[in-house]
Structure 1
């Protein structure tokens, strides 16, 4: 059995030109040195406006075992953000053919990660997209939450939620128009 080649990711400049690729790196080096890279984030909603929430596996290289609402991952070297988002949606939750709407792009940096997030939103239709199927190595469990219950949980700092996802949702909530029920869009 041949060894699997390590994933090569794109490195991004943290300057006035967001999205400028400046090199590549092995994923392990990017994590070890907290190098600036890019990642996709997709918010999955159903027809009722509920949000798909999932718990990350304990084997994840970043924020293992924590809860998140953003499906996505690191953009590979040579990969366009939209193609990466479509790939990640297929890999992590088994969904293909979803229309991804860009919602924002922003940097997130902490002691563990440093990336430019390309963020999208999509509507899940089980008749059109089939069942949600978790990638066993990345998603331990998943469930739907109404928007108001999700935001109430997010306001509890003790809820074991990924810090980058919490930050992205705060910005998402601030920029989105509200419906009568208080849920964005």
Structure 2
């Protein structure tokens, strides 16, 4: 069964309509997605390749860990749940910013978070086929050479701009 999400408007306000995420994507309805940029203690960034059997972007690389915000859930709750489901870690990610992302399968609000996580994560093999830790320069090169999800390019670009703008 597909996950239930809330439709939201252009200001990220819940419209009170709960739909399944597959339908939201097919219809192009705005809904919420939460992702986390995971760093280790040395500042490296976790990159992973999605499992081949996933329905959305199978086999592509990602800079973030995340998924749909379930109906009644906050961005932060969804980000923490996804970290637990995909990496087997319990950590409270720090919310950074949200924006309407139009680069994926359909437009959606993307809540971007950051978390420092152990470098010895144990990803769920149903979700993650491979993972590794890259420095920012290594990741910039990889983004040019490897096949990443559309969300990865947009989210990472905005993440770097956000970090640069912080005092």
TM-score (norm 2): 0.90
In 1: Cα distance, 2:162 partner to 2:76 partner? 21
Aligned residues: 166
- 134, 140, 151: which one pairs with 1:151? 140
Which of 66, 70, 86 in structure 2 is aligned with 1:76?
70
The answer to whether the aligner puts 1:122 opposite 2:105 as a matched pair is no
- How far did residue 65 of structure 1 move? 0.9
Partner of 1:175: 162
- Determine which structure has more spread, i.e. the larger CA radius of gyration: 1
Residue 166 of structure 1 pairs with residue 153 of structure 2: yes
Worse-superposed segment, 131-140 or 40-49: 131-140
Q: Residues 1-42 of structure 1: CA distance to partner in whole angstroms, max 9, x if unpaired?
A: xxxx5421111112xx3x211121122212322321111110
**Is the partner of 1:177 in helix, strand or coil?**
helix
> For the Cα contact (< 8 Å) 1:51–1:145, is it kept in 2?
yes
1:15-94 matched pairs, under 5 angstroms: 17=11, 19-22=12-15, 23-94=17-88
RMSD of aligned Cα (Å): 2.0
User: Which TM-score applies when normalising by structure 1?
Assistant: 0.82
1:134 paired with 2:130, answer no
**Does the aligned pair in 2 maintain the 1:12–1:38 contact within 8 Å?**
yes
Contact kept in structure 1, 2:80 and 2:92, CA below 8 Å: no
**Structure 2 unaligned regions, length at least 5:** none
Give yes or no for contact 1:53–1:142 (8 Å, CA) kept in 2.
yes
Q: Aligned pair in 2 of structure 1 residues 166, 6: CA closer, same or farther (>3 Å)?
A: closer
CA positional deviation for 1:102: 1.5
Question: Does the C-alpha gap of structure 1 residues 103 and 115 become closer, same or farther in structure 2, counting only changes over 3 Å?
Answer: same
